[in-house]
Amino acid sequence: MYTDKFVKIAWVFTFLGFLIALSLSYAFLPIEVGLQADSNGQPDQFINRETFFYLSLGTFVVVNIICLVFFRVLNALPASSTVFYRSILFKERIRDWFGAFTTVINTFLICIVSYLALFNNQGDYQIGQFNWIIWVGPLLFAGVLVWFVVILLSPKPISTEA
């Protein structure tokens, strides 16, 4: 199925994209990374650059390991089990959806790291120019949830044999 291949390729791109975004962010971050801004837009809560790097990398690795384990569990469940799956097609759709969900989580983590890097490296631009980055993750998440609802509401296929 083409969706499966597309989701796997997208996951690889987001995996590599996160590593690139984190590496570039780390290279240009100041020693103290601002995480929160006051009412004037100036950072008022800080963490060390190394702490930011390892916390970001650790979060990314843990999230992807959890998703990988859950993905393997989804694959291991038999499609003939009526407890979870309705058919082989339903199993494939749920598996593809979960892969897309993992890709969306990775994209959201890329956006967070990139936005924090931009927030801490204001050059000739204003951080307000990049506020759209904040909305990328939630919009993709909403799209994946709509996809999940469509999968759940799709009618059972006439033939469940493959």
pLDDT tens digits for range 19-77: 999 999 898 888 888 877 777 767 777 888 899 999 999 999 999 999 999 888 888 87
Is the Cβ–Cβ distance between 14 and 63 less than 8 Å? no
Query: What mean pLDDT value characterizes the chain?
Result: 83
Q: Which residues have CB under 8 Å from 159's CB, separation 6+? A: none
133-153 vs 88-120: helix axis angle to the nearest 10?
170
Closest CA to 100 of 54, 131, 67: 67
- Most confident residue range from 4-13, 85-94, 138-147: 138-147
pLDDT at 1: 56
CB atoms within 10 A of CB 44: 11
Entry pTM: 0.81
Residue with tokens 């995996």: 15
Q: For residue 86, is pLDDT > 60?
A: yes
- pLDDT band, very low/low/confident/very high, at 162 (cuts 50, 70, 90): very low
**Percent of the chain whose predicted confidence (pLDDT) is above 90:** 35
